[in-house]
Structure 1
């Protein structure tokens, strides 16, 4: 395994982070524990979860993922050997109304942290992240920003940082980060921290893959110049970059078969681009999965690459991508496809 540190900290993390959002829905607790055991034995010490997980969000399963992790930590005694990251939901919506509808109020933050600590069976979370912005902006499948003057959100960056600072001082969380954030929100958090000597966002967890390189547009520069590291999620574009959908080898419980709401990953342009990337991988004696993951991991602005799997075979292949290098010739071929079919999964 390869390691780095969370920016501006001494917290050592593996360059591969174990994602967990299928545990408690597509995966059982036994399967989740098997993944944790295998990843830990391969040197992965970084685990990411969220109060909302598993995905899709549901009142019946909410919090199950973190409980699975908590039970594993208790069973193995590995709490001090791993770095735990979790997330609080952002802007309220019908999708997460079963969790809470009070946004990032001070009470919400305290409530969310305390509940997550209980689920994880620990007294501290290493990295606590805001899952998505509270303001109305172009997150997830919304590509372009459209301003809405009637948005009821009021600028509360300072208040949020103060409440997170309070929780840091209480020892409940160690570092903070953002997720699904845009350039404006990222810089507002950084500016507010600097101006008022408040805790600084250390990481940003956004989607990044061969099929979605939007991060390179402006966020990559922020990452490099401001030293806020990307925790790349969906590096396999919901499994599309395994090639299993175009090869028609996807299992019945594959995510895009179970959850059609993520159809942006199965568009015609995604399929076409994936076919091109598959050929590049095969021509260079790599699996598509390993080429896709290696491409993400070796980017200078990426702190850690969050991988997910629904079975151990996938997990083994994904973790082994850490030993794969995308050379300049392969990168040139990849970029030619990117020019032809840019960012089809956004």
Structure 2
């Protein structure tokens, strides 16, 4: 499987990344361990999780369980921790089950990292990410009414400096290796990189934002930041929460699917989305492509992409998705995808 540089860290990661957010609820521990085995065997060397996982739903009694599942795999496979790059995330303001919903600060960072290390049963996190900015985010459909006018620039800069210095202390202790962002903006990513460079603190290596054939907000300003600042995209929801598989077309809701737990798929379920999906499914059929493979390969081929994070509830789904590895779409297919994007922009 192709690998890409992880920012300026000196690490490389596989172009497909194993997402884990269903592990511990929809995906039992035994099946999750089998997914780890299959993914590593098939060339994936990058695993992403978060302290708040599993989702669908997020609950007080399950928060942290996904990290625990990865931890039991680590414990059962001594000597294999070095076979993959491990990424996790610090929850921020509003996540009441994590430190009472406290924002990300220099005070919360040590506690959050120690908790993750304990659950993951490892001594170091390769990529430690802030799950969303303290100042808020336009991700998850908040872009339609996004208003940053209430932000205080001085407070934001002070927060960035405070937390970067705290992250440096964690690097010095050997608890984490590198730093990444999630659900960030072009301005935010640039400021994090600029401040870190000026003070010699951990430089942002990546930005994990939603990106798919149906969600392409990264294509302009953030793409420029990624290329010029070496802050590559880690794309989450590359299958648009399952919409791009086609399994929800014509009103279908398969048993155990995400839509049975989250009726709107986080605001992605719209009439325009289904029309767009139908067009992409037809394009895939016309070219003899599996729609899952087409969507993942398209995302992996974008010029600013570091790795495409996809999750699988079952081992069979993982096996299917891995068929996208090393698939290169033809120029004709890429041109037709661009034409469909013009016809169906921002469908949710």
Q: TM exceeds 0.5? A: yes
In structure 2, distance between residues paired with 1:262 and 1:152: 33
The 5-angstrom pairing of residues 279-298 of structure 1 reads 279-298=282-301
The worse-fitting range, judged by mean Cα deviation, of 1-10 and 281-290 is 1-10
Report how many aligned residue pairs link the two structures. Answer: 342
The 5-angstrom pairing of residues 212-291 of structure 1 reads 212-246=215-249, 250-291=253-294
The worse-fitting range, judged by mean Cα deviation, of 30-39 and 262-271 is 262-271
Q: Tell whether the 8 Å contact from 2:54 to 2:62 is kept in structure 1 after alignment.
A: yes
CA RMSD of aligned residues (A): 1.7
Deviation of residue 322 (structure 1)?
1.4
Extract structure 1 runs of 4+ deviating beyond 6 A: 150-153
Q: 1:199 to 1:31 in 2, by over 3 A?
A: same
Kindly provide the CA deviation profile for residues 254-298 of structure 1, in whole angstroms up to 9, marking residues without a partner as x. 102211253522211110000000000010011111100000001
In structure 2, distance between residues paired with 1:43 and 1:228: 23
Q: Tell whether the 8 Å contact from 2:253 to 2:259 is kept in structure 1 after alignment.
A: no
Partner SS state of residue 61, structure 2: coil
In structure 2, distance between residues paired with 1:161 and 1:114: 17
**Corresponding residue for 1:201?**
204
Deviation of residue 3 (structure 1)?
1.6
The 5-angstrom pairing of residues 1-346 of structure 1 reads 1-55=1-55, 56-77=57-78, 78-90=80-92, 92-93=93-94, 96-100=95-99, 101-144=101-144, 145-149=146-150, 154-155=155-156, 156-246=159-249, 250-345=253-348
Deviation of residue 12 (structure 1)?
2.6
Q: TM-score, normalised by structure 1?
A: 0.95
In structure 2, distance between residues paired with 1:304 and 1:148: 33
Kindly provide the CA deviation profile for residues 196-237 of structure 1, in whole angstroms up to 9, marking residues without a partner as x. 222100000000000001100210111011111111110000
In structure 2, distance between residues paired with 1:25 and 1:261: 19
In structure 2, distance between residues paired with 1:165 and 1:199: 6
Deviation of residue 147 (structure 1)?
3.0
Q: TM-score, normalised by structure 2?
A: 0.94
Question: Which residues of structure 1 form unaligned runs of 5+?
Answer: none
